[in-house]
Amino acid sequence: MGKKDANVRMSLQTLRVLESFLENPTEQLSGADVHQRCRIASGTLYPILLRLESAGWFVSQWESIDPSSAGRPRRRLYRLTSTGLRRASEVFASFNRGVLA
Amino acid sequence: MSQRSVTHWLIHHAARHAPESLAERLEEEWLADLEVRTSGVSRLRFAIGCCWATQMIAWEHQPSRAAVASTATAGRGVIAYADQNFGFISLRSSTFFLVASLHIVLIYGFMTALSHTHKSVVPDPLQNRDLPRSQPDRIPPPLPGPTIKNPPIEVPKPPIDIPYEQDLESGVATAILQEPINPLPPGLPTPHVAKRIDGGPGAGFPDTADFYPSHSIRLGEQGVSTVRVCVDAKGRLTSDPTTLKGSGSARLDEGALMLARAGSGHYRAATEDGQPVSSCYPLGIRFQLKN
C-alpha cells in the first residue's frame, strides 16, 4: 500500500504507537490492542496506523479466523516491517542522542 | 434507535466518507475493534472518533497532498520529519491552539472594552461657578379669611349699695363704712410671706467662652440656651441640668448643659428670708461671638 520507506510526521502520538510495536517487533496488533496500550483515541489512532502503513513502516492483514465460528468479526492486524523497525529505531535513537533536546 | 445501532450507523457513515479504496476495509476493521469495547460510552466515543479519523484520512489522501508527499525529500532524524510536515504539532493541536488564541483575543478585547467604559464614567473634577441670584418668588397675598364678628360681651354691673353722705355744699359724696373689711375669718393668724431671692451663677462660675463649641464658632452660631438647674443650699447641683428652651442649635444647647454641669459648687443658692435653701430655677446662658 503506497510508497515504501517514506517519511512520517512524527508526533507524540505516533511515537507512542511506534513504542507499543517496538516492545515486541514481531507481534501483530489490532487497532483495539494499540488503543489499550497507548490510550490514544480512535480519531487519532487510525490515521496514524494508515500513515505508517502508507509509508511502508507497517504491513497489515486480516486476522485468519472464521467469523461465524469465532462469533466475532475478523480484525485488521498490523506488524512492523523491517524498514519500519529500522526507521523507528533511528527515531528513538535520535532521541537518546539528544537531537531534539 | 438503540445505542448499538447508533454506533454502527456512525461507523458506516464514517467509512462511507473515507477514500473509496479504504471504505470497505475501514468499516470492517472498525466494527471489529468496536466489539472489544464493552462500555456504551466507550463505544460511542470510538464511533465518533472514527468519524474524525475519516476526515483526517480523506484529507491526507487528497491528490495534492500525495504529490507533496512524493516530492518530499527523505531526511534523517526527527528534525527532517518535522520540517517536512507540521513539526510535532498535529492538525488537531494546531486547531486547538487556534481556537484557544481566538478565545484569548476575545477575552482580552472584552476586558479592554470594559476598562475603557469604566474610565469614561469617571466624573470631571468639581468646578465652582457663581450662579446669578434668582429672583425671589412673589408670594401671593393671603386669601381673605372668613370674617369673625365677636359678639359684644355684656358684663352685668354688680349692684353697689354703699351708704354715703353727700355734702350739699361741696357736692362730694363720702362713703360710710359700717365695719372694717377683713377677708380672713376671725381667729386665724395672719400668714407669713417669706422674702425669696432666686439663685444664679456665683463666684468662680466657669466662663461661657470656655464652653463655646468650636464648630459653632466656625459656623458663627449664636443664641441663648435656657437650662433648668437644681441647686442645694451650698450651690451644688442636686440633679443633672436639663434644657428648658433651646437656642436653635443642638451644639450650643449641649455646650450650655456642659457649662451648667461644670458650674456645680459655684452656684449662688436661693435665699428665703436671707437663709440659703435648695431650689430649682431657670438659668439662661448666652453664647455670643465677639467682634
B98-125 pLDDT tens trace: 999 999 999 988 887 766 655 556 667 7
Question: Who contacts B207 (Cβ-Cβ below 8 Å, separation ≥6)?
Answer: none
Q: Does A10 sit within 8 Å of B81, measured CB to CB? A: yes
Q: Does B56 sit within 8 Å of A31, measured CB to CB? A: no
Question: Who contacts B64 (Cβ-Cβ below 8 Å, separation ≥6)?
Answer: none
pLDDT at residue B119 in the model = 57
Looking at the predicted structure, is the pLDDT value of residue B244 above 70? yes
Q: Is residue B235 part of a domain?
A: yes
- Please give the Cα distance from B143 to B74 (Å, whole number): 112
Total number of domains in chain A: 1
- Please give the Cα distance from B119 to A99 (Å, whole number): 52
Q: How far is A9 from chain B (nearest CA, A)?
A: 6
pLDDT at residue B163 in the model = 67
Closest Cα partner for A45 from B231, B45, B96?
Answer: B45
Q: How confident is the model at residue B255 (pLDDT cuts 50, 70, 90)?
A: very high
> What residues of chain B, 42 to 81, have a C-beta less than 8 Å from chain A?
45-46, 48-53, 56-57, 60, 69-70, 72, 74-81
For the question of an ipTM over 0.90, the answer is no
Residue of A42, A50, A57, A60 to mutate, interface with B, max B Cβ within 10 Å: A42
Q: HSE, CB side, 13 Å, CA atoms: give it for residue B201.
A: 15
Q: What number of other Cβ atoms are within 10 A of residue B197's Cβ?
A: 15
- Residue bearing the bigger pLDDT, A50 or B64: A50
Q: Which domain holds residue B14?
A: 3-62
Q: Does B82 sit within 8 Å of A47, measured CB to CB? A: no
Q: Which residues from chain A sit within 8 angstroms of residue B93, using beta carbons?
A: 11
CB proximity A42 to B under 8 Å: yes
Q: Is residue A92 part of a domain?
A: yes
Taken in order B182, B185, B187, B192, is the CA torsion positive or negative? negative
Which amino acid appears at position B245 of this protein?
A: K
Query: What's the pTM value of the predicted model, to 2 decimals?
Result: 0.44
Q: Is residue B242 part of a domain?
A: yes
**A38-79, pLDDT tens digit by residue?**
999 999 999 999 999 999 999 999 999 988 898 889 999 999
Residue of B36, B51, B89 to mutate, interface with A, max A Cβ within 10 Å: B36
Q: Does B90 sit within 8 Å of A43, measured CB to CB? A: no
pLDDT at residue B70 in the model = 45
- Residue bearing the bigger pLDDT, A96 or A89: A89
Query: Nearest CB to A50: which of B45, B57, B78?
Result: B57
pLDDT at residue B199 in the model = 85
**B138-196, pLDDT tens digit by residue?**
777 777 777 777 777 777 777 767 666 666 666 565 656 555 555 566 666 666 777 88
Q: Which domain holds residue A38?
A: 12-63+74-96
Q: How far is B90 from chain A (nearest CA, A)?
A: 7
Q: How far is B57 from chain A (nearest CA, A)?
A: 6
Q: Nearest residue of B to residue A46 by CA position?
A: B53
Q: Which of B14, B30, B62 is the last residue of a domain?
A: B62
Taken in order B272, B275, B279, B284, is the CA torsion positive or negative? positive
Q: Which of B62, B80, B110 is the last residue of a domain?
A: B62
Q: Is residue B55 part of a domain?
A: yes
Q: Is residue A25 part of a domain?
A: yes
Q: Is residue A28 part of a domain?
A: yes
Q: How confident is the model at residue B11 (pLDDT cuts 50, 70, 90)?
A: very high
Q: Is residue B102 part of a domain?
A: no
The domain that holds A83 is classified in CATH as 1.10.10.10
Q: Which of B47, B62, B77 is the last residue of a domain?
A: B62
Q: Is residue B184 part of a domain?
A: no
Total number of domains in chain B: 2
- Please give the Cα distance from A13 to B49 (Å, whole number): 15
Closest Cα partner for B81 from A1, A67, A5, A78?
Answer: A5
Q: Is residue A58 part of a domain?
A: yes
Residue of A4, A5, A11 to mutate, interface with B, max B Cβ within 10 Å: A11
